[in-house]
Chains A and B, each alone.
Chain A
């Protein structure tokens, strides 16, 4: 598994955890009947900050752990971790981003449709962030699939 694959796997796990947190938090808000715009914006901010911080920390940790594993495997104190991004990595990244954008576009359409069909704006905002996380997960899964199967 290359550094890029490890990095995508870590990001995928992070976003799955964030998705779990988001669903639990929204369910809690609905159950205690305090599902208001203020609360949802609070969850929005938490999710966005979590996504940024966790992704940065995840990348750094992946690099550190990869280096430690390489030192243990090779015994070399200055190991070479293949962290360069070549044209294939860039192409896979672009294709993954395209999947993320496509999924998110349909999700935005779906969210707006709920609003058009008479649901409150709160439902639309809740769906928007949920779909953003799902789109990111879909893109990461597609990237991993391309690394595994080639194209």
Chain B
């Protein structure tokens, strides 16, 4: 099994949501600002519940926020 990573567009989505601050997003989804920072820097993969909460905060579907990339993907 190859190395995989979950990528996200949180920074972009914040920008298109009236430049929502990291603190505002953190309060909306119930985590600390440090967790939002770690997510944006791709240093942390959230739980499924948090991922849904973030997508809900932006009013978009989960796959518009997160995408899965695998190094050994052949397609």
> Which A positions have Cβ atoms within 8 angstroms of B?
2, 4, 82, 84, 86-89, 147, 149-151
Contact check, B38 vs A150: say whether CB atoms are below 8 A apart. Answer: yes
Contact check, B32 vs A82: say whether CB atoms are below 8 A apart. Answer: yes
Summarize B's interface: helix, strand, loop or mixed.
Answer: loop
Chain B: number of interface residues, binned into ranges: 10 to 19
Which chain B residues lie closer than 8 Å to A147 at the CB level? Answer: 34
- How many Cβ-Cβ contacts under 8 Å join chain A to chain B? 33
B60 at the interface (CB under 8 A from A): no
Contact check, B43 vs A82: say whether CB atoms are below 8 A apart. Answer: no
Which chain B residues lie closer than 8 Å to A86 at the CB level? Answer: 30-32, 35
Q: Determine which of A2, A82, A150 lies in contact with B44 in the assembled complex, contact meaning CB atoms within 8 Å.
A: A150
> Which B positions have Cβ atoms within 8 angstroms of A?
30-35, 38, 41, 43-44, 46-47, 50
A31 to chain B: closest CB distance in Å?
47
Q: Determine which of A2, A4, A87 lies in contact with B47 in the assembled complex, contact meaning CB atoms within 8 Å.
A: A87
* Closest A residue by C-beta to B41: A150
How far, in whole Å, are A2 and B36 apart by their CA atoms in the complex? 13
Which chain A residues lie closer than 8 Å to B32 at the CB level? Answer: 2, 4, 82, 84, 86, 88-89
21 residue pairs of the A-B complex, CB under 8 angstroms, read A2-B34, A4-B32, A82-B33, A82-B34, A86-B31, A86-B32, A86-B35, A87-B31, A87-B46, A87-B50, A88-B31, A88-B32, A88-B44, A89-B32, A89-B35, A149-B43, A150-B38, A150-B43, A150-B44, A151-B43, A151-B44
New contact pairs (17) apart from A86-B31, A150-B38, A151-B43, CB-CB < 8 Å: A2-B32, A2-B34, A4-B32, A82-B32, A82-B33, A82-B34, A86-B30, A86-B35, A87-B31, A87-B47, A88-B31, A88-B32, A88-B35, A88-B38, A149-B43, A150-B41, A150-B44
